[in-house]
Structure 1
Amino acid sequence: MTRRGETGRAGWWLLAAGAVLLCSAATAEDTKTAPVAVEAAKVAAAPLSEQVTAVGTLLSDEAVTVSSEIPGRLKEIHFQEGQPVEQGTPLFTLDDSVYRAQLADAEAKLKLATQTHKRTTTLFSSKYATAQSADEAASNLAVSTAAVELARVQLEKSHIAAPFSGIVGLRHVSVGEYITAGQPLVNLEAIDPVKADFRVPEKFLPAIRVGQTIRIKVDAFPDETFDGRVYAIDPKLDVAGRSLLVRALVPNKDQRLRPGLFARVTVLLQLKEDALSVPEQAIVPQGDRQFVFKIVGGKAQLTKVVTGTRRDGRVEIVEGLAAGDEVVTAGQLKIRDGSAVAVANGTGA
């Protein structure tokens, strides 16, 4: 009886082990064929602008350091610092008493030279004067005329006016100070519009053109963007950095933008009306090639693609997909080419 009982128990254990093995095999088979849950999105067709970013500096449209062309003592200052002025507005007046005296002296000498020339010409026509004396009288008249003109110009230069409309800066001189020719007096800036100078790598040379739209951001106004337009391109590339200097004009009617600001510049190169794009998560790089898992008939199909512009979390698809195709965006590590998949999220662009 003992041996039969032991034999019966052993048989029961063998049957139980076989059942477990059969169940495990069935479970493994079910797991192998069960669809893998993934997330997916559809290929979207929408306008896409190709652009290049750079850093630059804002400059005045026109800028000059006002100075005097003649020496003299500063008599009057006609402006308030930091205020706008129109072209031709008086800025400084020098003491002109010396220049007025020089003009009066030159005019008196001119009057004498004119009378002498007139008398000499009359005598020469009557053959009472030599040709040399007539020539000397004519030369003295020309010299005196030039002296008067010089004195008049110097007198005019004692009044310094704005060469263009703009905003005057902080003056460097005071009334009563003796200034020399060329001494800086005040800076004048025209800041509507402002210029934006920036450099782009040489590879963008074929794409940069006059008239292209730019968009800039500055730290002073972090939540705002300002639009402008490229109007000049330097014909020479920078040898040290192999970069191209580009200049754009940015409207600045409210004059909030100021020269010297650091600017982040975006140049809109071209607009593609129906560019295809997918989320960045859909791209599966393999070496120097790019792939996606396209869902076809409930299965993942490894598909090679050619990518283009990347921006705002999306990648442009130049080749390999069509609008409306569905691609896996999460779960790629759990699948391979031909794996059955089940989309766990509501797909969309």
Structure 2
Amino acid sequence: MKNKFAALGAAAGAAGVLALIFSVVHAQAPAGQPTRPAGGPPGAAGGPPAGGPPVTVEVTRIATANLVDDVAAVGSIRANESVMLRPEISGRIVRINFREGQTVRRGTSLVELDASVLDAEIAQTRAELALARSNSQRTDDLHAKNFVSERARDEARSNLQVIEARLALAQARRDRSVIRAPFDGVVGIRQVAVGDYVREGADLVSIEDSRSVKIDFRLPERYLPQVRSGQKLAVTLDALPGKSIDATVDVIDPQVDANGRSFLVRARAGNAEGLLRNGMFARVRLVLDTRNNAILVPEEAIVSAVTPRGNANFVYKVAGDKATRVPVQLGLRRDAKVEVRGALASGDAVVIAGQQKLRGESATVRVLTAEGKPAAPAAGAAPAGGPAAPAPAKS
């Protein structure tokens, strides 16, 4: 019972203290103005009084433009076909059938090795082949008359096939003593001379087909979904200042390099003038997408904020004396302007200065001109925060 009376007394004391605080606050409030808890929004408990002075801002009109989404990279020029000619057998060079820098056709004999030993082997094998054919024919005739066994006939036929194979092998070796052009192209500077003894795999001379060229370059993996075969790109070279070459994406390497997180792209370009050479350094500008009538706003018009859903971007759109917050999504950046996507249209006015003073979804503003003077209100319009201007008296 004693605890119950103590609790009732404490509650009564707390109620008295609250009543005293309320009376003091009510006595300090200005006459005719309702009291509000501090910290609330305008027009509600605690915020600044509704209908406060307008915020001075500067605005600009939204413009549209055609945007090209591109990416720059560096790469290397590769000849359409390029090989170093090497012999498959050892031998001494007896003839060189080209001039350095000469254009040759596919199959042209370029270098000949000494083939006298190979020719002798071919002649010997052909003689053996003639004898083997004669023996095989005679054995077939005797077997038909039952003078020899089937085994003797089969051995004669097998011996004939072995010598035929030996002749084909000797002929193949003889063919390898002549190094021919594998495709139409231009031969380079030779590494050997007549009389040199070369072993198999030794460098003889390079040959390149540069009527068209390849351009190899790498891009970060984030561009992989945007790159596809057939896209156009412009190529410039330090060796040819002021000249731009058109190329087309040909092949995209399906493998991404795990070290650099990049992927290889190969483009092709014509080279009718022969200006592009294998190994040249190239700068590439690849067009990923083109967007017409994209909405651009100055970078200073973008306001970033942290929301419960994450970071968000928006601009303040001005209509009359009201500035309304409009969420936007950012795109490309060009010349201090940003592409935005949102509830905006060409010609809309957006705030570029003073938006840090704006609060909430909408606010009353006073717009300044480019010279820093207040913008003239429309005829008959009421100034922000005041009564309608009186009509001028007629004289």
Q: Shorter-normalised TM-score: what interval?
A: 0.7 to 0.9
1:18 maps to none
Equivalences for 1:1-349 in 2 at 5 Å?
42-280=61-299, 283=302, 290=313, 296-297=319-320, 305-326=328-349, 332=353, 337=358, 338-344=365-371
TM-score, normalised to structure 2, is 0.69
* Counterpart-to-counterpart distance in 1, 2:337 and 2:101: 47
* Counterpart-to-counterpart distance in 1, 2:220 and 2:71: 10
- Please state how far the C-alpha of 1:99 moved relative to its aligned partner: 1.8
* Counterpart-to-counterpart distance in 2, 1:235 and 1:34: 56
- Please state how far the C-alpha of 1:297 moved relative to its aligned partner: 4.5
- 1:241/1:110 Cα in 2 relative to 1: closer, same or farther (>3 Å)? same
- 1:261/1:285 Cα in 2 relative to 1: closer, same or farther (>3 Å)? farther
Aligned length: 310
* Counterpart-to-counterpart distance in 1, 2:107 and 2:357: 77
Query: Percent of aligned pairs with the same residue?
Result: 41
* Counterpart-to-counterpart distance in 2, 1:286 and 1:259: 52
SS in 2 for 1:174: coil
* Counterpart-to-counterpart distance in 1, 2:336 and 2:176: 62
CA deviations 1:104-126 (Å, max 9, x no partner) are 11111111111111111112222
Task: Verify the 8 A CA contact 2:316 2:355 in the aligned structure 1.
Answer: no
CA deviations 1:26-66 (Å, max 9, x no partner) are xxxxxx99988x7x764332322222223322222222111
- Please state how far the C-alpha of 1:142 moved relative to its aligned partner: 0.6
* Counterpart-to-counterpart distance in 2, 1:320 and 1:221: 47
- Relative contact order (alpha carbons < 8 A, sep ≥ 6): 1 or 2 greater? 1
Deviates more, 1:248-257 or 1:319-328: 319-328
CA deviations 1:196-225 (Å, max 9, x no partner) are 222222222222212111222222223222
SS in 2 for 1:108: helix
SS in 2 for 1:237: strand
* Counterpart-to-counterpart distance in 2, 1:256 and 1:137: 63
Task: Verify the 8 A CA contact 2:313 2:329 in the aligned structure 1.
Answer: yes
* Counterpart-to-counterpart distance in 2, 1:328 and 1:82: 66
- 1:300/1:85 Cα in 2 relative to 1: closer, same or farther (>3 Å)? farther
CA deviations 1:232-260 (Å, max 9, x no partner) are 12222212222222221122222212222
* Counterpart-to-counterpart distance in 2, 1:233 and 1:319: 34
1:24 maps to none
Q: Which runs of 5+ in 1 are unaligned?
A: 1-31
* Counterpart-to-counterpart distance in 2, 1:62 and 1:73: 28
SS in 1 for 2:191: coil
SS in 2 for 1:209: coil
SS in 2 for 1:54: strand
SS in 1 for 2:293: strand
Deviates more, 1:259-268 or 1:69-78: 259-268
CA deviations 1:140-180 (Å, max 9, x no partner) are 11111112212222222222111112222221111111111
Task: Verify the 8 A CA contact 1:192 1:255 in the aligned structure 2.
Answer: yes
TM-score, normalised to structure 1, is 0.77
